[in-house]
Structure 1
Amino acid sequence: MKRTFALPVAAALSALPSLGLAQEAATGEAAQHTQYILTSLLFLVGGFLVFWMAAGFAMLEAGLVRSKNVTMQLTKNMGLFSLAAIMYWLVGFNLMYPGEGWTITGLLGAFSPTSLEPVGLADTETDLSYASVGSDFFFQLMFCATTASIVSGTMAERVKLWPFLVFVIILTGFIYPIEASWQWGGGWLDARGFSDFAGSTLVHAAGGFAALAGAMVLGPRIGKYNKDGKVVPIPGSNLALATLGTFILWLGWFGFNGGSQLAMGTIGDVADVSRIFANTNMAAAAGAAAALGLTQVMFGKVDLTMTLNGALAGLVSITAEPLAPTLFQSLIIGGIGGVIVVFAVPMLDRMRIDDVVGAIPVHLIAGFWGTFIVAWTNSDASFGTQIIGFLSIGIFVFVVSYVFFTVIKSTIGLRVSEEEEINGLDMAELGMEAYPEFSKG
């Protein structure tokens, strides 16, 4: 009896170490599953917040153009987002994140459509250390579409629809994925230590450089500048829509910056996401407040459009490093972004560069400021490297965009006729108006 009893007991005791290892393995697997689930959720929530920015851009642009061009702006925003989604799936995502598929070292990856995991992850070995491919693709796509949205507003009121959309295909399928891969795809800028947390340069300044190229090739709107160089103000059609668009963009930016933490599997990650939210909000508020106060001092009255763009400039400024700064540092960074807009908008007018919505000051110039000042709060960055990264991406995007805009202009045409521009693009290009019951403005 004793021998019979002793054998199971001995077996049980000898199994205790392996049982502990099994429990430890199960605990580790559960933690890995939790990290995978929460990070994928962060990408999905962040992604649909950034998607909502598409509505923000549409409303902002619709409010800042004249009523005879509103339908055109709305159509362009629908078209550019849809084409961006297709192009980023078709070639952009794998160009941007080539992994082991590099075909030309340091520049391009495999030209192939994006593939998702099988349904339910059946019969596959999935890397649980990051997030699902579907959530990652969805999140990164929104950044690609944002880059194209920036170009739309600058070139408003005189560009043809289809030539503009042809450029969107080039921008979202090739230009943006290539330059973004230099940093986020583990390319040469990443190796040099360039730091751009959520895209002050890779997204916003890149869109601003493409917009600058387009504005230069396209030329200013009729009547924007007199022969003596005087600027003729052209008021927008609906400042209520423009304000709504700004608040929508402000909301979407929490997903833009917060989701770029790229992890939510630990309490440290969640704390960092909340810190990013707070810093992002502070920078936007400071940018708006700075523009509001400065326009009162400079012009004797507050300028609402400058205040709206001040908030957006504050958001762009903090995007390159929304995690490291304190709230006070975020206030300084965003506030200077707001000041930049107030001075940069008239500077562009003196250069006779017609930017309808002020996208170049907001996204390009404030994007440089935000990228440069990263080294102030992030000890891993250097001011010199930040400048090199900004200039490298800027030169690439501007030159390639300028070339393509020039080719489009000389082949299928880029700008509508003078008569069509005067009558409005809504009727000339689309045959419908946003406000048919009102007179054209």
Structure 2
Amino acid sequence: MKYFASLLANDMAATMDLSVELSKNVLTTNNVWMMLATALVFIMHLGFAGVETGFGQAKNTVNILFKNTITPIIGIVSYACVGFYLMYPGFEVPGWLSFDLAGWNMFWFSPASADVSVNYADGGYTYWTDFLFQAMFAATAATIVSGAIAERVKLSAYLVFTIFFVGLVYPLIGSWKWGGGALDEMGFYDFAGSTLVHSVGGWGALAGVILVGPRIGKYVNGKTVDKPGASVPLAVIGVFLLWLGWFGFNGGSVLSADPALVSLVLVTTSLGACAGGLGGFMAAYFSFKRLDLGMLLNGILAGLVGITAGADVITPGAAILIGFVAGILVVLSAILLDKLKLDDVVGAVSVHLTCGIWGTLAVGIFSTNPEHSFLTQLIGVLICGATAFSAAFAIFYLLKKTVGIRVSAEHEKSGLDSHEHGIRGYTIVFDE
């Protein structure tokens, strides 16, 4: 009898050891995917740099590249200092304001106490991967603002804005849903950030566009004057890099390497992008009577933004419809902004704000989860929008009244590169 009891005990111990080993392997697999997704989201900053530089004028190339290079630097550091603990405070009772002081101390002074076991995040990834993945999202919100107000904003003012917007505004709003706050309790749904990242950045861009004002010569005698971009090929490369990065942006938001869900998300993401491109170029053709490459590119981005809120809860057919509508909306939005004399260099407001709102509301229409409500989605959009726009407007307004947010007319006309950086983005040297 003792012999059989011993065998049973050994079998149970072996089973437990096997279970522990399997859990570790699953954690490793999930964590590797999450780190890869983090890298894909990081490369999106190069995509943003390409799009903004390509659509911007050659005389401002270095200035644009400088902003797009320093934005993720500031974004990641400010998110490490404050944002991470504002965004994931661990609400005991879902609410609007909370801060995780214990997490702040662990990050900076007791890193060995960080949970990197299978118990953290349901075995999806480690504490450190969690931070880095979320930090990439935070920096993206500021990059959206950069493109809208390019070619006339003071670099110093933009950098100060980025610190406060990424460090405080974005994580506070994000905590209401992704941190387990009041919007999450309400039932609001935003899978990967159509509202929490893109619309928040879009509202910041709109506030900046209003307060900075249009570029000199953009609107003359009631007409909109096109300002040729520096490099169409660079803009195309930038869009494809963003599309590539979106596989990590949405695919990583599954927060594990779940093969079924990750696969579905990548399919709906790609179909949304394709349909957005179709909607964009068709709407542009009917509006402008030409095959507009710029609107084709922004249509792709519009479809990606639109699909982001519900990529995991919609069918492939719905993804095509959502993306196609987003492609049409981005064209109509761009036309409206020009009529209102709101100068957006890259179309950031139209892509990220207009289509971010549409994508979030679309969850309430097309979601396969019956608990998702259009009214709840609308309320969430309004709350996040009012907060993001008010905060961004206040930051820009204070900067405008103190240090100023716009370069001089002389510097704007001759280009920011030579005045602020001392070099030009495109230089041809002839041998004597």
Q: Is TM more than 0.5 here?
A: yes
Letter in 1 for 2:5: S
Pairing partner for 2:135 from 121, 132, 141: 141
In structure 2, do the counterparts of structure 1 residues 250 and 122 end up closer, same or farther at CA, with 3 Å as the change threshold?
closer
Matches within 5 A, 1:306-385: 306-375=295-364, 376-377=366-367, 378-385=369-376
Letter in 2 for 1:138: L
CA-atom RMSD in angstroms: 2.1
Structure 2, unmatched stretches of 5+, are none
Pairing partner for 1:253 from 246, 252, 256: 246
| Deviation for aligned residue 1:119 | 8.3
Any idea what the Cα deviations from partners look like across 1:215-269, whole Å, max 9, x if unmatched?
111111101111x3221111211110000000000000000000000122xxxx2
Residue 173 (str. 1) matches residue 167 (str. 2): yes
| Counterpart-to-counterpart distance in 2, 1:323 and 1:100 | 25
In structure 2, the residue matched to 1:4 is none
| Deviation for aligned residue 1:81 | 0.8
Residue 270 (str. 1) matches residue 263 (str. 2): no
| Deviation for aligned residue 1:134 | 1.0
| Counterpart-to-counterpart distance in 1, 2:301 and 2:396 | 27
Letter in 1 for 2:375: G
Letter in 1 for 2:347: G
The DSSP-based 3-state class of the residue aligned with 1:373 is helix
Letter in 1 for 2:130: D
| Deviation for aligned residue 1:437 | 2.7
CA contact (8 A) 1:41 1:135 kept: no
| Counterpart-to-counterpart distance in 2, 1:122 and 1:230 | 58
Residue 298 (str. 1) matches residue 279 (str. 2): no
| Counterpart-to-counterpart distance in 2, 1:146 and 1:346 | 25
| Deviation for aligned residue 1:41 | 1.5
| Counterpart-to-counterpart distance in 1, 2:119 and 2:286 | 56
CA contact (8 A) 1:290 1:335 kept: yes
Residue 80 (str. 1) matches residue 74 (str. 2): no
| Deviation for aligned residue 1:138 | 0.9
In structure 2, do the counterparts of structure 1 residues 41 and 117 end up closer, same or farther at CA, with 3 Å as the change threshold?
farther
Matches within 5 A, 1:29-428: 29-99=20-90, 106-110=96-100, 112=104, 115=107, 127-128=119-120, 129-130=122-123, 131-226=125-220, 228-264=221-257, 269-375=258-364, 376-377=366-367, 378-428=369-419
CA contact (8 A) 2:53 2:234 kept: yes
In structure 2, do the counterparts of structure 1 residues 117 and 196 end up closer, same or farther at CA, with 3 Å as the change threshold?
farther
Aligned length: 423
Letter in 1 for 2:390: V
In structure 2, do the counterparts of structure 1 residues 371 and 231 end up closer, same or farther at CA, with 3 Å as the change threshold?
same
Larger radius of gyration: 1
Percent identity, aligned pairs only, is 42
The DSSP-based 3-state class of the residue aligned with 2:320 is helix
- Once the two structures are overlaid, the 10-residue window that deviates more, 193-202 or 322-331, is 322-331
| Deviation for aligned residue 1:379 | 2.0
CA contact (8 A) 2:106 2:114 kept: no
| Counterpart-to-counterpart distance in 2, 1:158 and 1:122 | 44
CA contact (8 A) 1:101 1:110 kept: no
In structure 2, do the counterparts of structure 1 residues 122 and 311 end up closer, same or farther at CA, with 3 Å as the change threshold?
closer
Post-superposition, which runs of at least 4 consecutive aligned residues in structure 1 deviate over 6 A? 116-126
The DSSP-based 3-state class of the residue aligned with 1:159 is coil
| Deviation for aligned residue 1:126 | 6.8
| Deviation for aligned residue 1:27 | 2.9
Letter in 2 for 1:262: L
CA contact (8 A) 2:305 2:351 kept: yes
In structure 2, the residue matched to 1:5 is none
CA contact (8 A) 1:60 1:242 kept: yes
In structure 2, do the counterparts of structure 1 residues 192 and 100 end up closer, same or farther at CA, with 3 Å as the change threshold?
closer
